[in-house]
Amino acid sequence: MAQKKQNTDKPASKGLAGSTLTPRAKTRKTVKSTEHATTRVVGSALTQADADRFEAAAYKVGRSAAKSKKTARDTLVILGTHTKTGRLTKNYRG
């Protein structure tokens, strides 16, 4: 069987097929909990307490932002992804 030669003239990051990119290093480990699967911080400058505080704060902001259509739209406008009329801002249009 003849083996295909890879073209080394092109950078490997241009496509996934035949790429020589290495897989991304694992930075999180999934741990099963009795309630649901949670992720633990591995190899980070943050402590687990920091990660837990951030997760709780993000959950609280998400819940308050999703109370109604108006609050959801207002949150997206504050983040800068949408205009007041509901359209995507220039930086986020396709």
- pLDDT tens-digit readout, 8-31: 554 444 444 444 444 444 445 555
43 part of a folded domain:
yes
6 part of a folded domain:
no
40 part of a folded domain:
yes
pLDDT mean over 40-60? 87
60 part of a folded domain:
yes
Q: How many domains, in total, are found in the chain?
A: 1
75 part of a folded domain:
yes
pTM of the model: 0.46
Residue 76 parent element (H or E): helix 69-79
Decide which of 81 and 7 is more confident.
81
Decide which of 35 and 48 is more confident.
48
Give the chain's mean pLDDT: 74
Rounded CA separation 79/22 (Å): 34
For 53, the domain range is 27-92
41 part of a folded domain:
yes
Q: Per-residue confidence at 91, pLDDT binned at 50, 70, 90?
A: very high
Length of the chain: 94
Residue 69 in tokens: 């259509």
Q: For residue range 33-45, list pLDDT tens digits in order.
A: 555 556 666 677 8
Farthest CA pair distance, the chain: 64
Nearest to 24 by CA among 47, 49, 43: 43
49 part of a folded domain:
yes
Q: What is the pLDDT of residue 63?
A: 95
46 part of a folded domain:
yes
Q: What is the pLDDT of residue 44?
A: 72
